Chain A
Amino acid sequence: MSDTATTTGRPSSVYVPSAEALATVLAPGARPPRPSALGASLTFGWRAMLKIKHVPEQLFDVTAFPIIMVLMFTYLFGGALADSPRDYLQFFLPGIMVTSVVMITMYTGVGLNTDIEKGVFDRFRTLPVWRPAALVGMIFGDVLRYVLAALVILGVGLVLGFRPDGGVLGVLAGIGLLVVFSFAFSWVWTFFGLILRSEKSVMGVSMMVLFPLTFLSNVFVEPGTMPGWLQAFVKVNPITHLVAAVRAAMAGSSDPSNTMWLLLWSAGFVAVFGTLTMYRYNRR
């Protein structure tokens, strides 16, 4: 066995394992204390950001898609549903922001599904860290994407003439509520991402859930004109509560009842789907 130094060679030189160099990294040091649950989750969140840095194409979903949604619906419905696209925008922008961001949550499931097929999750699952950390961290990374999407939509809205009465604080509060809900709602998709076999089926299920959920709500029109059975659904739909709360915040008022319902739904999603997800995650 050669003891040739491994690090001093030119780039093209062949690696020769050196017993000495290996010895320095193999000496057992004191084991550091296990990271806290939050610390581990944030570290996994850092991984998600590194992935965005290396694969920036993945931000296409959170930028192009929302822009198209805003432009399309503003000009498509604006004239018919309100006096002008600009008037409609005051009502519609919070709704389309919610729709876009909630739609983007499904990429959490798709991403997890592809990620978990690779060996790196085997390594994560053999680490002695708080078990949900890998998933929580992943969703932290996604939250960043949600914020980005919301800001893009806000930007487009402002250009088109959206003038929220709530000002900066109101808008921030609205985005905050949206992000809280989206974080909670993401756990639905981590669950499906774990139980379904392929990325395609995760997409399929997500669409089947998301389309009715976002369209059968108060996003596009006030529910007053809908038939009674539909109104009944729209009323309990969490998206309706979310849109109402976000609209109120951005308009400078508040809507305690809808905000409360929205937070209850969020807590419910985390409790139910977070638990199911962790059960599946541990039992694979």
Chain B
Amino acid sequence: MIMSRRTTGLAIEAEGLRRSFGKTRALDGIDLRVPAGTVYGLLGPNGAGKTTAVRVLATLLRPDGGRARVFGHDVVEEADAVRSRVSLTGQYASVDEDLTGAENLVLLGRLLGLRKPAARERAERLLAAFGLTEASGRQVKKYSGGMRRRIDIAASILNTPDLLFLDEPTTGLDPRSRNQVWEIVRAVVSHGTTVLLTTQYLDEADQLAGRIAVVDHGKVIAEGTPGELKSSVGSGTVHLRLRDPAQRPEAEKLLGAALGVAVQPEADPVALTARVGGDGSDLVASEQAARALGDLARAGIVVDDFSLGQPSLDEVFLALTDHPAADERDDQMEAAR
């Protein structure tokens, strides 16, 4: 059930967005085209400029150069029109931690123009849908990390926005809480809200996003569907653990033949690693891996553990740039370039 009134055309259109903080060029000419009604991933390491991009698009920060439109409205000139259609869940809690969960939602409901009873009712239903009824009367500062994220997202969809910004919604969450957030994001987008999601994890962008822009040093260095990005890197890595270390040389040969790539013996005497895919699709990679496993079985080699992993963000970065995903940007290197 897609609400088509909100899902046509482009939700975000940015051209050459630039923004500096002193000497740091946080945004160095970003172009984005986000189709409405989809989840769009902004993927990048710490300091890439993800938060800055989100803040510019959400009208919180003025760009130094370039322009951006949200549903056709300029983020600087028509900020109010943009604000009436977007919501932001910031990287750090964007609810009032001194207030209770229920108070936060009622406050926002009132600010969006609901009368007190309507705001209360809306708050109660949101709290229920987000599994926070028990915690509704507790101050948000006493919530767990996962609950905080949920109340934050609940606050953001209070007005059923047309565009929702989620800035690193799962950073710091345990796997279960992360899955909860993913489910929520899927539900939100299935109701026609466009989601711009920033993340440091390719895995997450892959799970949720229809398209991804990889951002580094304030620039988009690659853009496409998750499949396109991954196949530009190679579909991933096969990890094998054998029962008998003595069989490793033979396994290495068989695997190399089946996958057509070089196989690396690891420090662990029973472990082997190989890159698969390269230019093929996921299916081909898994087929290749399956064939390799069959060959090993026929040769009487016992495999205790097998995994076909996706390329990590680091591998994507290595492939797209000539440097690994750096934790902090080095401004001197930047200046020297």
Contact = CB atoms under 8 A, between A and B. Distances in A.
Q: Do A and B come from one complex?
A: yes
A6 B129 contact: yes
A47 B58 contact: no
A120 B91 CA distance: 11
A27 B103 CA distance: 22
Nearest to A137: B111
A126 B6 contact: no
B322 to A, nearest CB: 35
A118 B104 CA distance: 14
Given A6-B131, A32-B114, A128 B84 contact: yes
Given A15-B180, A126-B58, A127-B111, A31 B159 contact: yes
B62 A26 contact: no
A284 B111 contact: no
Contacts of A22: 129, 184, 187-188
Interface string B29-72: 00000000000000000000000000100111110000000000
Nearest to B93: A119
Contact of B160 (A7, A26, A46, A51): A26
B129 A123 contact: no
A31 B113 contact: yes
Contacts of B58: 122, 126
B97 interface: yes
B156 to A, nearest CB: 8
A119 B6 CA distance: 28
A260 interface: no
A283 B83 contact: no
Given A29-B160, A128-B84, A50 B99 contact: yes
A263 to B, nearest CB: 31
Interface string A109-131: 00000000011101111111100
A43 B111 contact: yes
A265 B60 CA distance: 33
B234 interface: no
B203 interface: no
A23 to B, nearest CB: 7
A171 B96 CA distance: 37
B99 A51 contact: yes
A109 to B, nearest CB: 18
A129 B129 contact: no
B319 interface: no
Interface stretch (A33-41, A82-90, A185-193, A234-242): A33-41
Task: Bin the interface of chain A by size.
Answer: 35 or more
A31 B84 CA distance: 10
Contacts of A257: none
A15 B131 contact: yes
B17 to A, nearest CB: 17
Given A11-B134, A284-B60, A126 B88 contact: yes
Given A19-B187, A25-B129, A14 B176 contact: yes
Nearest to A20: B129
A47 B97 contact: no
A180 to B, nearest CB: 26
A120 B111 contact: no
Most buried by B among A29, A44, A122: A122
A125 B60 contact: yes
B299 interface: no
Given A32-B112, A51-B98, A7 B128 contact: yes
Given A51-B98, A119-B94, A17 B180 contact: yes
A43 B110 contact: yes
Contacts of A80: none
Contacts of A14: 176
Contacts of B97: 118, 120
B111 A24 contact: no
A126 B107 contact: no
Interface string A254-274: 000000000000000000000
B183 interface: yes
Contacts of B160: 26-29
B10 interface: no
Contacts of B133: 7
B107 A47 contact: yes
B142 to A, nearest CB: 11
A44 B115 CA distance: 14
B92 A118 contact: yes
Given A123-B94, A125-B60, A126-B60, A33 B113 contact: yes
